[in-house]
Amino acid sequence: MEEFAQLTSPTLLLRPEIAKRNIQRMANKAKQAGLEFRPHFKTHQSHTVGGWFRDAGVTKITVSSIAMAEYFALDGWQDITIALPLNIREMDRINALARKIKLNVIVDNAQILTILEYQKMVQAPLHVWVEADCGDGRSGIPLKNKGAFIHVAQTLMKSPTMQFAGILTHAGHAYRRMSSTEAKALFTDISDNLGKLVEYFYRFEDFKGMKIPVSFGDTPLCSQLEAFPNIDELRPGNFVFYDFMQYAFGACTIDDIAMVMACPVISHQGGQQYIVHGGAVHFGKDFLLTNLKHKPVEEGKNFGWQVDFTESGWKPYRNSYLRGLSQEHGEAFNGSTPLLDKDLGQLAYFLPIHSCLTADLMMRYYLVENGELGEEIRMMKADPGYLDGFGNS
Amino acid sequence: MEEFAQLTSPTLLLRPEIAKRNIQRMANKAKQAGLEFRPHFKTHQSHTVGGWFRDAGVTKITVSSIAMAEYFALDGWQDITIALPLNIREMDRINALARKIKLNVIVDNAQILTILEYQKMVQAPLHVWVEADCGDGRSGIPLKNKGAFIHVAQTLMKSPTMQFAGILTHAGHAYRRMSSTEAKALFTDISDNLGKLVEYFYRFEDFKGMKIPVSFGDTPLCSQLEAFPNIDELRPGNFVFYDFMQYAFGACTIDDIAMVMACPVISHQGGQQYIVHGGAVHFGKDFLLTNLKHKPVEEGKNFGWQVDFTESGWKPYRNSYLRGLSQEHGEAFNGSTPLLDKDLGQLAYFLPIHSCLTADLMMRYYLVENGELGEEIRMMKADPGYLDGFGNS
């Protein structure tokens, strides 16, 4: 057997020097642009990696669920935004946490405020961001519906328990292949419309002299751009690890990708296919097709891109990748020239397509530094308190 | 709020009467066909549901990993097949378990036997099935390479620790839309070739008078057929819960689907879209397109099919489904006539596309009987022993 003899099953590996460099670079960028930096922690879901952000001066964070907010509050984080439209069925847990820390939530609808007020559901101070749809078409008030933003913000300003925190948006439509020119054009359009929305607020007496912060997030645009006019806060998340999808989008280099899955080779019949232990319950089912900026794959779906793990970093194979995943099987297509020579029992390494979902499935990762296997990092879902709610602990 | 006021976050619900009926039906089918029944437990991953199989007379099971084998051995299962080509890096755990129970593994390559023997890696009795590729093109020796089967089986017969158990195959290429005629034609072809392979074994002195069992598995064919010539053992798994994919394939009726995800509605802007709390970390990213036997969706990807949960069962909406999933957001497209009337905070119900992966992600499900929320079932990954290996406990 070669390196990492102690690895027996599919194992997710993290190179901390890359993750720390990604963190520092984004923190510097926010600082130089004069912006608040509120990174999204949904990708790493770990107290340890959270500590690396703390070392970079981060004090405010973003999460995607009340469970994740509770988990990071337990580790001392005191200012957390749950970047999912408020789920009013979770108000007991939200109130409990809002009594302990500064808790920020988002709404995109006046109806929800009526329900909350009418049923007296808010029992602790809540900082409420109004979500804008800047073109993604998922959640948020469409930017052009300026009157709806005013109505929601004015309703919040009358509430005894809720405070209007600002405007928050996520450019989900930036998750695609973009040149830096295209990225800049997309952002400029969003930024102009956000600027106009804030100007519109100042037509109303209620908001005169008031700062209306604008929070913006997504790894592709935050990675590609340096200047962020009309924005006050950045909330990218995936950039801590990046992945093959972000590389294909043009948001990072291959050397910025911090994670790889090590998979034992378990079957081959000769020819261009071999089977690894590593399937849908390890990688998840996100894939990329071939119409991407970077084309390592000649046909069909790519569920993970094969690389060698060398001292100097990833050495990618041009046309070797996971072309199919069953529950625990991975079908690796070996189209490299010369053919890879993988024997049964050896490890094959694949860059994940989407590191957020792969890490979430694996529940843990191992640090690798200088070619040595180090500390095991257990994530939120591996914590014994997860299924019962950390708020109850 | 309506029914299930206690549900606050995305929650997977299981109707036990349906799962038990699915189990009994498949057990009866195997019995009537005179076959061994060795169901795959990767779908439910639960001691409780395993108990329902035990109640139906099951004593032999299939799993997809050494961890799952250890988990079910802890619950008293004494005859387990790991239906993934043997991962020789896991031999310590495999040997430890093979000392305690009858452990069956699969190989599809003579090279692996050489490695095992040469390195004296097998230290407990292992029952070894030779995997055949019956047309799927994943793992297994292609059925036409008869000589390779003989070579592997003869090598096994010379081993002091390994015992040739028979031929095992999985028709992964049956996971597609099929009429019952097409299903029968596909199976007949596989069955004929398996029969010829067994006949070929008897040309060799080594196998004269010996029973060569043939193990066959997959939910679509086991569901659609009643007779299984040339087969000795059935290993379907997904049928315990079924899902929308199996329904689309023609393998079950909608009333055979035992699971549904309840998702709180968290956003809408009017029109045909609303957002639910329920995303890729809950459902997984498997989807169906529209070119299926049953077409509830008019365009694009379907990540979950919306139904009402009524006393008499699922009431599906013709054109309402999850058209997109982010990490925790689900984008529900509401194309029903009349439009569904879902308010913020209400629950929306979606049949999962692929119940194996959805359950694996959720790590637990709740029983619902007569409209009442009952017992919480925690799965393997929710067990505190999972990440350390159950064999060490």
- How many residues appear in chain A? 393
Residues 6+ apart with CB under 8 A from A234: A26, A29, A30, A33, A35, A36, A37, A38, A39, A215, A216, A217, A222, A228
Question: In 3D, which of A327, A164, A82 has the Cα closest to residue B172?
Answer: A327
pLDDT value, residue A290: 58
Q: How far is A56 from chain B (nearest CA, A)?
A: 26
Picking from B329, B225, B333, B233, the residue whose alpha carbon sits closest to that of residue B273 is B333
- Give pLDDT, residue A317: 83
- A282-286, A299-303, B1-5, B361-365: least confident range: B1-5
Nearest to B115 among A84, A92, A345 (CB): A345
Quick check: B353 pLDDT over 80?
Answer: yes
Q: Which residues of B touch A144 (CB under 8 A)?
A: none
For residue B294, pLDDT beyond 90: no
Residues contacting A309, CB < 8 A, separation 6+: A3, A13, A260, A262, A349
Mean pLDDT for chain A?
Answer: 93
* Contact with chain B for residue A33, Cβ under 8 A: no
Which DSSP state fits B172? G
pLDDT of B99 higher than 90: yes
Q: Is the pLDDT of residue A281 over 60?
A: yes
Chain B contact set for A121 (CB, 8 A): none
Between CA A263 and CA B87 the distance in angstroms is: 10
Q: Does B342 touch chain A (CB under 8 A)?
A: no
Contact B67 A284 (CB under 8 A): no
Q: What is the pLDDT of residue A261?
A: 98
Task: Work out the pLDDT band at B295, boundaries 50, 70, 90.
Answer: very low
Answer yes or no: do A267 and B361 touch at CB < 8 A. no
Query: Considering chain B, what percentage of its residues have pLDDT values greater than 90?
Result: 84
B361 interface with A at CB cutoff 8 Å: yes
Measured CA to CA, the distance from residue A69 to residue A76 in angstroms comes to 11
Measured between CB atoms, which of A65, A142, A267 is closest to B85?
Answer: A267
- CA nearest B284: which of A69, A83, A8, A283? A283
How close A102 comes to chain B (CA, Å)? 22
Interface of B with A in 248-267 (CB under 8 A): 264, 266-267
- CA–CA separation, A212 and A204 (whole Å): 13
- In chain A, which residues have their Cβ closer than 8 Å to the Cβ of B112? 344-345
- Token couple for B374: 């009952």
Encoding tokens for residue A247? Answer: 């590389």
**Weakest-pLDDT range from A218-227, B75-84, B382-391:** B382-391
Coil vs helix vs strand at A138: coil
What count of residues does chain B have? 393
Contacts of A42 in chain B (CB under 8 A): 327-328
Looking at residue B336, what is its pLDDT?
72
- Closest in B109, B329, B363 to A268, CB measured: B109
Q: How confident is the model at residue A172 (pLDDT cuts 50, 70, 90)?
A: very high
**pLDDT tens digits for range A32-72:** 999 999 999 999 999 999 999 999 999 999 999 999 999 99
Output the pLDDT for position B205. 96
Residue A296 has pLDDT above 50, yes or no: no
Is residue B142 within 8 angstroms of chain A, CB to CB? yes
Q: State whether residue B363 sits within 8 Å of chain A by CB.
A: yes
**A positions 188-217 inside 8 Å of B (CB):** none
Contact at CB, B139 and A275, closer than 8 angstroms: yes
Residues A301-347 pLDDT 10s: 899 999 999 888 999 887 888 999 999 999 998 877 666 667 899 99
Contacts of B285 in chain A (CB under 8 A): 284-286, 357
- pLDDT of residue B297 exceeding 70: no
Once rounded to an integer, what is the mean pLDDT over residues B5-10? 95
Which residue in A142, A281, A387 is closest to B364 by CB distance? A387
Instruction: Give phi and psi for A232, each to the nearest 5.
Output: -115, -20
- Nearest residue in B to A344, CA atom: B112
For residue B378, report the phi and psi dihedrals to the nearest 5 degrees: -95, 135
What is the per-residue pLDDT across B206-260, written as a single tens digit (0 to 9) for each? 999 999 999 999 999 999 999 999 999 999 999 999 999 999 899 999 999 999 9
The predicted structure's pLDDT at residue B292: 40
pLDDT for A299 equals 57
For A307-340, give the DSSP string: EEEETTEEEEEEEEEEEEE-SSEEEEEE--SSPP
Q: Residue A338: is the preceding peptide bond cis (ω within 30°)?
A: yes
Q: What is the mean pLDDT of chain B?
A: 93
- Asked if A281 and B133 come within 8 Å (Cβ–Cβ), the reply is no
Cα–Cα distances in angstroms (integers) from residue A83 to residues A105, A177, A386, B205, in the given order: 7, 24, 19, 69
Q: Are B177 and B249 in contact (CB under 8 A)?
A: yes
ipTM of the complex, rounded to two decimals: 0.95
- A116-120, A293-297, A371-375: segment of lowest average pLDDT: A293-297
Residues of B in contact with A364 (CB under 8 A): 387
**Beta-carbon separation of B343 and A111 below 8 A:** yes
- pLDDT tens digit string along B255-285? 999 999 999 999 998 888 899 999 999 999 9
pLDDT-derived band at B341 (thresholds 50, 70, 90) equals low
> Which chain A residue shows the shortest CA-CA distance from B281?
A357
Q: Does A2 have pLDDT greater than 60?
A: no
Judged by CB atoms closer than 8 Å, whether chains meet at A90 and B64 is answered as: no
Q: Does B285 touch chain A (CB under 8 A)?
A: yes
What pLDDT score was predicted for residue B300? 78
Does residue A1 surpass a pLDDT of 50? Answer: no
Burial label for B117, CB within 10 Å (0-12, 13-18, 19+), is middle
Q: Which of A141, A281, A345 sits opposite B89 (nearest CB)?
A: A345
**Per-residue pLDDT at A101:** 98
Q: φ and ψ at B68, to 5 degrees?
A: -70, -35
Give me the DSSP letters along A177-203: ---HHHHHHHHHHHHHHHHHHHHHHTT
CB contact (8 A) between residue A89 and residue B7 = yes
Q: Which residues of B touch A67 (CB under 8 A)?
A: 9
User: Does B93 contact chain A (CB < 8 Å)?
Assistant: yes
Asked if B84 is an interface residue toward chain A (Cβ–Cβ < 8 A), one would say yes
Would the pLDDT of B333 be above 60?
Answer: yes
Mode of pairing for the β-strands spanning B36-37 and B233-234: parallel
Average pLDDT for B313-324: 87
Tell me the average pLDDT across A186-192. 97
Q: Where are the alpha helices (DSSP H) in A56-179?
A: 66-74, 91-98, 110-118, 146-157
CB within 8 Å of chain A, chain B residues 105-124? 108-109, 111-112, 115
Let me know: does A101 contact A147? Beta carbons within 8 Å: no
**pLDDT above 90 for A229:** yes
Q: How confident is the model over B348-356, as a mean pLDDT? A: 96
A250 to chain B, minimum CA–CA distance in Å?
Answer: 20
